[in-house]
Structure 1
Amino acid sequence: MTYLCSEMDKFMKYANFFYTTVGFEAYATASRPPNDSLRNRIVFWGSLVNLAIVGIGETIYFYFAIRAGNLLEAVTVMSYIGFIIVGVSKIFFIMWKKPALSAMVQELEDLFPRGKVQEAQFHLEDYLRSCSRISFNYGLLYFVLIWTFNLYPIMELIVFEKWLKIRIVGKTLPYLMYAPWKSDDNLSYYPLLVSQNLAGYTSAAAQISTDLLLCSVATQVVMHFDHLARSMENHNLSGDWPADSRFISEMTVGVSPDMITKLFLYLVSSMSQVYLICHYGQMVADASFGLSVAVYNQSWSHADVRYQRALLLIIARAQKTRHLKATIFLDITRSTMTDLLQISYKFFALLRTMYVQ
């Protein structure tokens, strides 16, 4: 298990590194138990509180910039606020989905090739090398960019004012932020500088680590798909149904006849519910659009011009079809049923492929 954990960690090491720097743990498995240490909690919540304070200061600055009509500064600080929102959103989404993510990583561990023979069959070294190269270069690029941005005011001060002495730079902060006192002429400048640097890194690390985690998980999923494809392509069929069917059963999930019956009954009941909702959603859409057709079929040619103009408004409005909605994003019609079936089958095929290697 220690060997397996270390091999899995090679895929995840860069993502876990950036998570660790902000005191966060994205997942836990049997071979990687949770590490809820006091140090991690202090670093994590301290980083988030600091990030929130900087975000509030930037929001206040944005408000005053808008009031003053300074569009350039408003747009600039809005980009900083957006950077913080993206980082916080990613870290809280991972916190929310940590149980599901831990279960998924545990499944990847269960499927992970064991021993040199299986590693060679899966071409493990090739996928690990590709994942590590991309993760390292992406992490390094993002790391260099964020710290170049964070430390740029200090470099300006040292190079242009202190060393070359070609212009007065002054003590500036990397991010535009409201402070209730003047900080560039006293020692409070340095705590603000450190706070902003840490906030910028916290948001960047949250984004980098989440992206790299996706990269490492996706690489392993691709590895399993490719191994399955090679196994299917290179298998020599004998023409004997029992022998060939055993090979197929090894590549898919085995289910007993009793379980198939139960799952079929559950599938029928679930699909009936979905179809009923989609059917009535389609009826609402058809009835809504049918109003415009009914208005057009009216004997409007004998009506007053003002009446005809009023009908145009009704037709235009009725052509904006009304739908039953699942949240604000999804309209419920019979085509929704088709989309759900396609997505469900793709997801089932993915699970079936990953279940047994």
Structure 2
Amino acid sequence: MAKIVKFEELLFLPSFFYRSVGIDLWGTNGILLDIIFCFNVMNNIIVLISELTFVIMNFSDNFVEASMTLSYVGFVIVGSIKMYYMWKKKHELARFLTSMKAIFPNTKEQQQQMNLRQHQRKSTLIMGAFSLNFMILIWTYNLYPWMQRQIYDCWLHKRTIEVALPYKSYIPWKWQGNWSYYILYLSETLAGYHTASGQIASDLVITAMGTQIIMHYENVSKRIEEYKPKVSLLRRQRDKELPSHKLRNKLRKIYMEQERAYCEDMQFLGNIIAYHSKIFSLSEVMNNVFGVALLVNFMTSSFVICFVGFQMTMDTEMDYKIKLFLFLFSSLVQIYLISYYGQLLIDASVNVAQAVFCHDWPDAHIHYKRMLVLVMARAQKPAMLKATNFVLISRGTMTDIIQISYKFFALIRTMYSD
């Protein structure tokens, strides 16, 4: 017997990463979570300042290292801004999740009708792979200096590896061979992890809730397409069973049946319109909660991809190129994930109009037909993921980001060659 899926199961991974940066998904932060959040913010600011200082001091003398550190700076900025907006919008997010939970299918029959299991498996697989990809990325960067020294210097004794921190930054004292090295290493490691968690936490919520909104749109389309208007069925049955000269004897009965059928049809359509309107309004609320974070993400991603791509064209060691490839791949996956769900949301919302057109409406009541026209007109305006009003997210957004990144890459490469 299939177990009933609970709403909270869709939010297991997002909730884990939200709490790791000190924020509760439902807006019920305790003292411990507030302390964790404040520590994360302060630590990220300190690391960000030290990295920016390093970039300023080395930009003219060592542009290659400065450009790589700029990629880290962009990564930290996006993660920190997302963390800030997660904290600022936590009560709006809690209300949004409460509204989503209110329309969540809670019975076995409803979940089977809406193919909830299939949607859950798909979103869980995508969120798990996305989270694993980012965790591999950040822990590769966090542990790379230590592992490199352990393997080459301590175990293989092939070459001497200097003590290094995970990320290039300016430290105003001599930390090599000093106890402060361990504190600095821990600080940068935590900043890297919390930045990555801040990066993906909101993306995971968009994935989980986007999946549910898409599921509801598909349910609207399915219910409309499968519904047989009672007035249509009654008219066809009447024409088939009763010759015209017998209609006069059963006129009263036919009239009552038509009135009942008309009421059932209009009630169904009224419920569908309210359901459809609710789903559309929730997609707009999701944009209000995550719009600014998405805008910053897309704006910064172009520069990050550009600088990482520039680094990959340099003559560097293979293990360093692997790190760069992981960084580039993770950035592209992040953009594609949001673009992919933005396109799915557009397709699912527009398909409602197609379902209305394929609906068995020709013999329905004239009032029913007029209301169907309104539903179709409303569905032709698609629900969209929006990075505020500046970027409407679809699969084409991925292409736009890559084109912009390549233009910056070509410019920087030309300047460096000259």
Q: TM-score range by the shorter chain?
A: 0.5 to 0.7
Q: How far, CA to CA, are the matches of 1:346 and 1:237 in structure 2?
A: 20
Aligned to 2:403: none
CA deviation after TM superposition for structure 1 residue 346, in Å: 6.8
1:18–1:209 Cα contact (<8 Å) kept: yes
Aligned to 1:252: 273
Q: How far, CA to CA, are the matches of 2:200 and 2:126 in structure 1?
A: 12
Amino acid at match of 1:96: K
Q: How far, CA to CA, are the matches of 1:182 and 1:73 in structure 2?
A: 20
Aligned to 2:286: none
Aligned to 1:85: 77
Q: How far, CA to CA, are the matches of 2:170 and 2:15 in structure 1?
A: 34
Please list the CA deviations of residues 120-146 of structure 1 after superposition, one character each: whole Å capped at 9, or x if unmatched: 111111111111111111101111111
Please list the CA deviations of residues 183-233 of structure 1 after superposition, one character each: whole Å capped at 9, or x if unmatched: 122221111111000000110000111110110010010111111111111
Q: 1:221 aligns with which of 197, 213, 223?
A: 213
1:131 aligns with 2:123: yes
Structure 2 spans left out of the alignment, 5+ residues: 233-260, 276-377, 385-418
SS of aligned partner of 1:69: coil
1:158 aligns with 2:150: yes
C-alpha change, 1:347 and 1:111, in structure 2 (3 Å) is farther
Q: How far, CA to CA, are the matches of 1:211 and 1:117 in structure 2?
A: 30
Q: How far, CA to CA, are the matches of 1:145 and 1:226 in structure 2?
A: 35
CA deviation after TM superposition for structure 1 residue 348, in Å: 8.9
1:11–1:132 Cα contact (<8 Å) kept: yes
C-alpha change, 1:211 and 1:349, in structure 2 (3 Å) is closer
SS of aligned partner of 2:54: helix
1:40 aligns with 2:33: yes
Q: How far, CA to CA, are the matches of 1:9 and 1:347 in structure 2?
A: 32
SS of aligned partner of 1:176: coil
Instruction: After superposing the two structures, state which structure 1 stretch, 213-222 or 87-96, moved more.
Output: 87-96
1:26–1:95 Cα contact (<8 Å) kept: no
Q: How far, CA to CA, are the matches of 2:161 and 2:140 in structure 1?
A: 17
CA deviation after TM superposition for structure 1 residue 47, in Å: 1.2
Aligned positions of 1:10-89 closer than 5 A: 10-28=9-27, 34=28, 36-66=29-59, 68-89=60-81
Identical aligned residues as a percent: 30
1:167 aligns with 2:166: no
Aligned to 2:141: 149
Q: How far, CA to CA, are the matches of 1:17 and 1:349 in structure 2?
A: 32
Q: How far, CA to CA, are the matches of 2:25 and 2:77 in structure 1?
A: 19
CA deviation after TM superposition for structure 1 residue 93, in Å: 1.8
Please list the CA deviations of residues 147-187 of structure 1 after superposition, one character each: whole Å capped at 9, or x if unmatched: 01110000000000000011111211110111111112222
Amino acid at match of 2:266: S
Aligned to 1:195: 187
Q: How far, CA to CA, are the matches of 2:87 and 2:11 in structure 1?
A: 17
Q: How far, CA to CA, are the matches of 2:141 and 2:227 in structure 1?
A: 54
C-alpha change, 1:347 and 1:207, in structure 2 (3 Å) is farther
Please list the CA deviations of residues 2-25 of structure 1 after superposition, one character each: whole Å capped at 9, or x if unmatched: x99x81111111011111112212
Please list the CA deviations of residues 46-89 of structure 1 after superposition, one character each: whole Å capped at 9, or x if unmatched: 111111111111111111112x5211121111111111100011
Aligned to 1:278: none
1:135–1:215 Cα contact (<8 Å) kept: yes
Aligned positions of 1:91-102 closer than 5 A: 91-102=83-94
Aligned to 2:360: none
Amino acid at match of 2:263: P
Larger Rg: 1
C-alpha change, 1:108 and 1:347, in structure 2 (3 Å) is farther
2:21–2:83 Cα contact (<8 Å) kept: no
Structure 1 spans left out of the alignment, 5+ residues: 29-33, 255-344, 352-357
1:23–1:44 Cα contact (<8 Å) kept: yes
Q: How far, CA to CA, are the matches of 2:140 and 2:175 in structure 1?
A: 22
CA deviation after TM superposition for structure 1 residue 96, in Å: 2.5
Q: How far, CA to CA, are the matches of 1:71 and 1:119 in structure 2?
A: 56
Q: How far, CA to CA, are the matches of 2:16 and 2:24 in structure 1?
A: 10
SS of aligned partner of 2:22: coil
Aligned to 2:172: 180
Aligned positions of 1:99-114 closer than 5 A: 99-114=91-106
SS of aligned partner of 1:168: coil
Please list the CA deviations of residues 28-52 of structure 1 after superposition, one character each: whole Å capped at 9, or x if unmatched: 4xxxxx1x22211111111111111
2:23–2:86 Cα contact (<8 Å) kept: no
CA deviation after TM superposition for structure 1 residue 97, in Å: 2.4
